[in-house]
Amino acid sequence: MNPLLSIEDLHVSFRMGREGGQMRRQQAVKGISFEVPENATVALVGESGSGKSVTAMSILNLLPSNAEREGRILFQGRDLLRSSARELQAIRGKEIACVFQDPMSSLNPVFNVATQICEPLMKHMGMSRRQALVRAEELLYEVGIPEPKRRLRAYPHEMSGGQQQRVMIAVALACSPKLLIADEPTTALDVTIQRQVMELLAKLKASHRMSLLFISHDLGVVGEISDRVVVMRHGQVRETAPVEQIFNSPQDAYTKALLACRPSLTDDASRLMVIDDHIAGRSAAPPAATKDADAPVVLEVKGLRKSFWLQQGLFGRREFKAVRDVSFKLRRGHTLGVVGESGSGKTTMGLSLLRLHEQSNGSLGGEVLFDGQDLLRLGGADWQRMRRRIQVVFQNPYASLNPRFTIGQTLREPMEIHGIGADAAEREARAIALLRKVGLDETAMAKYPHEFSGGQRQRIAIARCLTLQPEVLVLDEAVSALDVSVQAQVLNLLRDLQDEFGLSYIFITHDLAVVKFIADEVLVMQNGSVVEQAATAELIGAPREDYTRRLLGAVPRGYTGRAETAAAV
């Protein structure tokens, strides 16, 4: 039987401009080949920069204008590389559809949901507006959107991240495509929503009898959804095999490394193995040492509350309670993990204790005691001095780093504001030393944020915090946007810095496997309240609350011996 899609010796490069009269080219994909059978799920996996998204976007030529493609991409026998723009336009959305990582960037913010689902139905299927609206409602129901008729009138910003992704899936499925390309569709979602989207894609694939090309860096997710796996690195295919073989007997050293560097709910190692460790054959790290249970308390939060005023009607408003009576103690050198679904209040809690949510847009109450002083009631110079000692690292370092500042300026600025260092030369030396501490060298000082990878930018954000010699770091989803190998490097770095400087962390995340590695104690939040709080080993091993058990049950565990996998491949 002929495959639905066959990629043969595909090369993709990007023109980077002229230098010395010659056109410079950056090669992203270097002669890869693989097939997608009918009614099957094939996963493309690899680190950021491996070429997996470039490969997928090459299929429908959704690459920028400076891209050059060679080879063959056969879809039902037609070579898409040699199809005209008109022919590709007829295929896009009708026979091959795409679902991307960030639905808010993919959905048009000025059109409601009905308009965006109806557009492909009217364009490709020749439906009238009335017919398309009926079908749009059916599609919303099929992807699990409650009250689909009412939701047709909603705009993307009025929906949660999980609902936006479901709408994007509904748009992609509108014309019943034969192939659905899903490019990191669950990366930005919390574990329970991720689980729902994965189950939805599997159900829709079966009911529509379509093929799925699933792109991810997370082998835990890939193992649960795919029939066959293509492992990529540096633009080349390292291994292709059925999912069972990839998980039970991987042949390539890089595949073995990818499988092993992801945090686990069962391991207790003091360090995560990274890609180079595995390839070099280094042994696993010993178990982590037990922390001092009687270490001094550096931060105590009592009854923290945060509300927001929401518009209601033309002149009215109502109070939304985002954080409700949260209390905890954080000890020196310890990490408190804060977990929960999107909307649980965990990020609002972290930003509120830092006073990044002030009372101007809603009430802020409770106590945040740091060195005997209540941070919520400090003002003027006292608050400025205290801000040095408690810092924050955000999820997206590219958004939190000033794109117009060099890395040197980024690191020197907080020291200049807070009077750290005797002169410019001393501040420069401190900045370079901190860069080395986070695994970069002094050549980074003259560069700008866009010249670094996501993992390197996150290291720079951590170095910027360390310029002020803080005692507490609030890390808000600081590793959730990173692929597993870079995530392992940053988590190891955080643990090393904690051991060296005695730092205390509030680690906010939706990934319980990461919490298992980094945290000593876990706070589980739901609807703004703490539903469970316990030592990490106790909470992972014997959770008391149903909500915590649901969070743990939603964690992707990779291939678990599905009987149907071998038959499907």
Over the chain (569 residues), the average pLDDT of each successive run of 10 is 90 90 91 96 90 93 93 95 93 92 83 95 94 95 89 88 87 93 82 85 91 89 92 95 94 89 82 84 80 93 92 81 95 96 89 83 91 90 88 85 95 93 93 91 92 85 93 91 83 92 93 91 95 95 94 83 43
3-state secondary structure of 523: strand
Task: Please provide the distance, in angstroms rounded to a whole number, between the alpha carbons at the two ends of the chain.
Answer: 12
* pLDDT at residue 564 in the model: 42
Q: Do 62 and 269 form a contact (C-beta atoms < 8 A)? A: no
DSSP tag of 158: G
Beta-carbon neighbour count of residue 521 at 10 Å? 22
Q: Do 264 and 77 form a contact (C-beta atoms < 8 A)? A: no
3-state secondary structure of 188: coil
Distance from C-alpha of 355 to C-alpha of 313, rounded to nearest angstrom: 29
Tokens of 434: 């901190």
Half-sphere exposure of 528 toward its Cβ, with a 13 Å CA cutoff? 13
Phi-psi region of 126 (alpha: psi -120 to 50; beta: other; left: phi over 0): left
* pLDDT at residue 567 in the model: 36
Tokens of 367: 């106590």
* pLDDT at residue 568 in the model: 37
Q: Do 216 and 222 form a contact (C-beta atoms < 8 A)? A: yes
3-state secondary structure of 131: helix
- pTM: predicted TM-score of the whole model, two decimal places: 0.83
Distance from C-alpha of 422 to C-alpha of 429, rounded to nearest angstrom: 11
Residue type for position 411: L
Q: Which run of H or E residues covers position 23?
A: strand 22-36
The strands making up 364-370's β-sheet, listed across from edge to edge, are 316-331, 297-312, 364-370, 373-374
For residue 530, give the nearest of 310, 303, 283, 267 by alpha carbon: 303
Distance from C-alpha of 275 to C-alpha of 484, rounded to nearest angstrom: 9
For residue 552, give the nearest of 347, 162, 264 by alpha carbon: 264
> What structural domains does the chain harbor?
101-174 (no CATH), 333-357+375-553 (3.40.50.300)
Q: Do 487 and 514 form a contact (C-beta atoms < 8 A)? A: yes
* pLDDT at residue 569 in the model: 34
Beta-carbon neighbour count of residue 144 at 10 Å? 17
* pLDDT at residue 371 in the model: 87
CA distances (Å), origin 451, targets 28, 333, 393, 414: 17, 33, 20, 22
Q: Do 476 and 510 form a contact (C-beta atoms < 8 A)? A: no
Tokens of 419: 């009077």
